Amino acid sequence: MKIISFNVNGIRSACSKGLVDWIKVEEPDIICFQEIKANIENIPKELVELEGYYSYWYPAVKKGYSGVGIMSKYKCQNITYGIDNEFYDFEGRCIRIDYEKFSVLCAYFPSGTTGDVRQDFKESFLDYFTKYILKLESLNKRLIIAGDVNICHKPIDIHNPVSNKNSSGFLPQEREWMTDFISLGYADALRQVSQEPHQYTWWTFRAGARERNLGWRIDYHLVGEELTPLIKNYKIHNHIFMSDHCPIELEIDL
């Protein structure tokens, strides 16, 4: 099974750059989108009505902001919108689909790059998210969390760890949260397959960062412990230029 995650930085923009044709070529079983930045009625029909897929969308209340979605070849048994907290769900950050043997949670974590208020919001979200996942006792060991976590976990995940040591997304408390969360029984799927450096998923639009591969790895598949042994391969589609992020792909034997 192929599970792709992609922060599209605007679903309409990505569709105008070939997203639908790319999906037709890749044929993922499940694809998770973050930052759709569109209400359901504004998502291009060619995507929503793509043959062979069920689609589930959870936009933010604020127009043109945040929002997540999942498309799947398989009709799910249950779907959960949000994480049971209006403070975060107002921004359309999480959607989960459940099947008999596994669940997929598409997540778009807050960024703290715009100042202290949003950094505080981000850190409160991290605390709440951990508590929420722990409540999913019957699901969390077979849960796949796919999305934009907005955190580089280790120095290998960022192009210049020294100069970015005080940057949101690489702060000590954020990295510690990642370590603690993974210790609950989750695997960083990429690192189950490869320990190679310079594998990034996001690049600033400034200063030719993408061309020089001066990036950050802030997009992940975090795989519950019962599913971790089933990971087969992992791929970062860094040749796809539809967004400031690129798609990431988990191949897993489900």
Catalytic residues: 148
Q: Strand ranges (DSSP E) for the chain?
A: 2-7, 30-34, 54-58, 68-72, 78-81, 94-98, 103-108, 143-148, 186-188, 219-224, 231-236, 248-252
Q: Any alpha helices (H) in the chain, and if so which ranges?
A: 11-16, 19-26, 45-48, 86-89, 116-135, 172-182, 189-193
Q: Minimal CA–CA distance to 248: which of 193, 208, 206?
A: 193
**Token representation of residue 158:** 């960022």
CB 4 within 8 A of CB 32: yes
